[in-house]
Amino acid sequence: MFQGFARSYSLRMAVISAIAILFPGVSVGQQPTPHQQTLQLVDQHAAHFSATSRTIWEYAELGFQEEKSSALLQNDLKAAGFRIQASVADEPTAFVATYGQGSPVIGILGEFDALPGLSQAATPDRSPVTANAPGHGCGHNLLGSGSALAAVALKEYIERNHIAGTLRFYGAPAEEGGQGKVYMLRAGLFRDVDVMLQWHPAARNGVSNGGMLAAYSAQFVFHGVAAHAAMAPERGRSALDAVMLMGNAVEFLREHVPSNTRIHYIISNGGAAPNIVPDTASLDLMARNFSLTVLQDVWARILKISQGAAMMTGTTVEVRNLDGSANILPNDALAKVAQRNLEEVGGFTYTAEEKRFAEQLQKTLPPGGAGLLDSTTTILPLRKPDPNEPDASTDVGDVSWNVPTIGFYTATFAPGVVPHTWQAAATAGMSIGQKGMIVAARALAITGADLFSNPQLVLDAKSDFRHQLEGRTYESVIPAGQKPRLDYRKR
């Protein structure tokens, strides 16, 4: 009896220690929870996808030219057991990676395009790898790799536990101005998706429940009549005059739009020489507001201004390259779960070396610009987006008007650093960025696990989505039938 007890006891201890090795942190005698299993899987693949993020950071390919970055992520996902549909939506570098079948259909968005001129070594001082070359100043190398890390872990979790449903990773190109996702949307690639998960690199950790600005952009090209500017100015009709009048009128318009509207422009062509009345001149303009609906009205008035400027100068106006994106619709049902999950994951701490790096980097920020270094360890409380807070724009907005969407942001950049800077590109290529990326992947993966195992959560997300859309209709800023502008970087 005693011997028997001893034998079964030692056998039990062997099983327990095997569990402890497989799932550290799991208390003895308990099965690992779905979150513990999923987090363990993320950690197993974290080193691999950190390396992937570094390789994409080195490729630093601009929008619609991300051949190597897209191929690398496709290979990783294919190796993990996903089916790949490459070159979707008339976008050579867009792809969809799918695992499983049936309901629910859960999507994760990934991006991988770089920005022009932001080439930067992983150093805390300004040192381009190649002068004027592109760089990952928005951290999209981390975005694509972190989302792929979450997708691979989540796939293994649903596979091991025989959970029904479809998991998709969306390789979405050209977020920086190419609106890659809008064309994927139009191609019907998101049609059956129940919930979309996303994240973006940042300088703090939190849940992004809505926010970002709806945006319109276009080039206003004025056509006039060229003439000798001294000998026969009366024969000329100046396209540059029209551009300047349009700029002035836009300044007057500022007084009569909601004060959180942003309008910004450049003169992209001001003529050839001062002694020739310019027969062609152009103004590239963007307008933004947190509400797509408000912005539609502002944009209609900007179009009238362009016609007025043409009329005053005897020129004609042509609106080219009309482009833009919607604001992100919030989803309160998903936000609550996302917040809980990010708090469960927690932030991260710097090593002594990372701390030195961040401190040195912060010295290059404008006075008062540096944030608290230990803010990377904390999660910001859940809050509604503030319409008066400055923000950027993204084609994730268009997705969110069509699929219930929730996102995270994590501290991949040193506190105080803003995206689209060399400082952001620097940490996107080293361990600080990778640690932030892993936090995002962990939060995405466990939120995905919740959606796969809790049908009520998917229903709640859908009902909140319908509520958010009430009284509003989605209309893309981009004209119907327009093909992706694959050469949008060459204006």
C-alpha 82/C-alpha 100 separation (Å) is: 8
CB of 221 to Zn ion, least distance (A): 27
Measured CA to CA, the distance from residue 491 to residue 484 in angstroms comes to 14
Residues 124-143 binding Zn ion (CB under 5 A) are 138
Q: Which residue, 138 or 361, is less far from Zn ion as judged by CB?
A: 138
When the beta carbons of 257 and 477 are compared against Zn ion, the nearer one is 477
Q: How far is the CB of 144 from Zn ion (least distance, A)?
A: 11
The residue whose Cβ lies closest to Zn ion is: 138
- Crossing angle, helix 140-160 and helix 34-59, to 10 degrees? 150
Minimal distance in Å, beta carbon 487 to Zn ion?
20
Residue 424 in tokens: 């952001």
Sign of CA dihedral 287, 289, 295, 300: negative
Taking the C-alpha atoms of residue 163 and residue 414, their distance in angstroms, rounded to an integer, is 38
User: Measured from the CB atom, is 187 or 392 closer to Zn ion?
Assistant: 392
CB of 258 to Zn ion, least distance (A): 24
Q: Starting from the edge strand earliest in sequence, which strands make up the sheet with 214-223, in order?
A: 262-269, 280-289, 214-223, 316-325
Q: Which is nearer to Zn ion, 112 or 169 (CB)?
A: 112
Nearer to Zn ion, 138 or 193 (CB): 138
Element containing residue 455 per DSSP (H, E):
helix 455-469
The least distance separating Zn ion from the CB of residue 143, rounded to whole angstroms, comes to 7
Of the pair 35, 485, the CB lying nearest Zn ion is at 485
Spatial neighbors of 260 by CB under 8 A, at least 6 apart, are 289, 290, 387, 388
Lay out the site mask for Zn ion across 214-253 (x = CB under 5 A, - = otherwise).
----------------------------------------
The residue type found at 280 is T
Instruction: List the x/- string, 44-63, binding to Zn ion by CB under 5 A.
Output: --------------------
Closest C-alpha among 57, 55, 152 to residue 113: 57
Site residues for Zn ion, 136-195, by CB under 5 A, read 138
State the minimum distance, in angstroms, from the CB of residue 70 to Zn ion.
Answer: 16
Q: What is the CA radius of gyration of the chain?
A: 26
Answer for the pair 196, 203: CB distance below 8 angstroms, yes or no: no
Question: Contacts with Zn ion in 332-351 (CB under 5 A)?
Answer: none
To the nearest whole angstrom, how small is the minimum distance from the Cβ of residue 296 to Zn ion?
Answer: 24
Size of the site for Zn ion (CB under 5 A): 1
Binding site for Zn ion (CB under 5 A): 138
